[in-house]
Amino acid sequence: MLFKLLALPISAPLAGVAWIGEKIHETALAQLNDPAEIRRKLIALEAKLDAGEIAEAEFEALEDELIQRLKTAASMMRQE
């Protein structure tokens, strides 16, 4: 108990930094796995293809990656 009190000036800020890091990580994962955001990226990707900004091969590779992320996000939502 005494050690906790003496270490408080050091341990409290470290705990706060750890908590902030955890919250940032959770927010980043939520954004990365947000199905609506992934769908928006798919639509934007298709618009780039239609505008001739990217090649068909690049489009297919990026589309596959986004579809995989969408499947992963759906799977994670079912598990919750």
Helices (H), the chain: 2-32, 35-50, 56-79
Q: Where are the domains of the chain?
A: 45-80
Mean pLDDT (the chain, rounded): 87
pLDDT given at position 33? 84
pLDDT per position as a tens digit, 34-62: 899 999 999 999 999 999 999 999 999 99
Can you give the pTM of this predicted structure?
0.64
pLDDT of residue 9: 76
pLDDT digits (tens, 9 = 90+) for 10-30: 776 777 778 898 999 888 888
Q: How high is the pLDDT of residue 66?
A: 95
d(CA 61, CA 59): 6
